A and B are shown apart, each in its own frame.
Chain A
Amino acid sequence: MSYSTFNRKQFDSTKEPMFFGENVNVARYDQQKHPIFEKLIEKQLSFFWRPEEVDLSTDRKDFQRLEAHEQHIFLSNLKYQTLLDSVQGRSPNVALLPIVSLPELETWIETWSFSETIHSRSYTHIIRNIVNDPTKIFDDIVTNAEITKRADSVSIYYDRLIEMVNLYNTMGMGTFDIPGRGEIEISMPKLKKALYLTIASVNVLEAIRFYVSFACSFGFAERTLMEGNAKIIKLIARDEALHLTGTQHMLNLMASGKDDPEMAVIAAECQNEVRQIFIEAAEQEKEWANYLFKDGSMIGLNAQILGQYVEYITNVRMQAIGLETHFATKNNPIPWINAWLVSDNVQVAPQEAEISSYLVGQTDNSLDDSDFDDFDL
């Protein structure tokens, strides 16, 4: 019941479910229940980058030349991205590590969260480069009503799961009267349901909310403005594409029953609730688009177009986890975003065209004569 950093029991971890089985003990990867998570780890490590590699000196000049309402769009979007990564840099660790039961998944969660901390450091790098007083911007994230509304919706499922797991670890199963919170029932189905909804809301955060913010960042770059920022966002988008695949795998594995038969029942029971999480998030993002563009639009992007993109991307993400699509928008209203999202031409330093699959020291030792067939001298 209570968490142990090294579970002394002897058990076969390949027989454990992803979550709420035995606490992990030996961090071993020679035998894996779900090898996909180690593949994600390897991919994520091959993506490693540092914000300082990206030069932002022209962004400062660009920013000063933006009109006031464009500065509002840029800064608000950046504040929102900062909020999202503040949550993602810690929450998978705090919420999921105490309940994970597979070593490869535990390490994926840590690797995933770590990459979010790189994103958080990039926002500071960006903000420091474009304004003289970063404090004003960071302080606004906890006081601005529009941003704090966002904070509530991205943290509520995490916080509920963490609260329940804390109770489970200290008190075990039962119904507990918590001062100021009322009665909270802790049972395995309730815990698993809280987990399933949390993973769904994380998928929404990374696969929908982030992409809406990427659209804004790239909207500036389409006009050859704030291009250093766009380079950083491109690197962040590459990481997020991998993270959203991680949560899609978790959700699909849970729903399939291949991992934990009890979880499949819960996933089926709360399918409607998950749909609602997606739909509500989409509505919140559309509201956010109205706030961004309240004082004026920019060339190529306005509240209506961004709203259509929200609907489109929500449909795509719902379909990816086996939900029926909800919105009428079936086409991407901003097809130019793909050219910005594509990872293969991410280039940080001029001397190093960074291919996303690039691995340092990765050489192929198995060569034979046929490998030189297409060589002409």
Chain B
Amino acid sequence: MPEQKEQVVHRVLLGKKQILVTEEEPLLVQLERAGIHVEYQCREGYCSSCSIKLLWGNVIYPFEPLAWVQSGYLLACCAIVKSDIEIAFFD
């Protein structure tokens, strides 16, 4: 029997939208694939353009980003989603 890798899936709530994401890739690419426009520049954690509000839930960073991440925010280009989360752009 081939080994089946189980993919962990989390829900990302954004306003009235719901996007399913895995832990395999950072949030940014998965949001883009879902057709959501997110600001970006460096895509490697130093410019802070993709900073998004994290209302609740957990994310981790496999590598600590160079940019300052304000508390209550996440950096989409390098954050790995670890639970269901709710995010928001500007107020």
Contacts and interface: CB of A to CB of B under 8 A. Distances in A.
Nearest to A252: B68
Interface string B18-42: 0000000000000000000101111
B28 to A, nearest CB: 11
Q: Name A's interface SS.
A: helix
Contacts of B42: 238, 241, 342-343, 356
B51 A320 contact: yes
A356 B44 CA distance: 9
A244 B44 CA distance: 15
Give chain A's interface residue range (CB within 8 Å of chain B): 20 to 34
B67 A245 contact: yes
Give chain B's interface residue range (CB within 8 Å of chain A): 10 to 19
Contacts of B37: 335
A357 interface: yes
Interface in B47-67: 47-49, 51, 66-67
A40 interface: yes
A338 B47 contact: no
B77 to A, nearest CB: 10
A336 to B, nearest CB: 11
Nearest to B65: A245
A344 B46 contact: no
Given A248-B67, A249-B68, A320-B70, A332 B39 contact: yes
A330 B51 contact: no
A36 B66 contact: yes
B66 A43 contact: yes
A51 to B, nearest CB: 21
B26 to A, nearest CB: 14
Contacts of A238: 42
Contacts of B40: 338, 341-342
Contacts of A319: 51, 70, 90
A322 B46 contact: no
A245 B43 contact: no
Question: Which of A241, A242, A248, A344 gathers most chain B CB within 10 Å?
Answer: A241
A245 B47 CA distance: 6
Interface string A292-319: 0000000000000000000000011001
Given A330-B90, A343-B44, 16 more contacts: A43-B46, A242-B47, A245-B46, A245-B47, A245-B66, A248-B48, A248-B68, A252-B68, A316-B49, A325-B90, A335-B37, A338-B40, A341-B41, A341-B49, A342-B41, A342-B42
14 contacts: A238-B42, A242-B47, A244-B48, A245-B66, A245-B68, A248-B68, A252-B70, A319-B70, A319-B90, A320-B70, A322-B70, A335-B37, A338-B41, A341-B40
Interface of B: 37, 39-44, 46-49, 51, 66-68, 70, 89-91
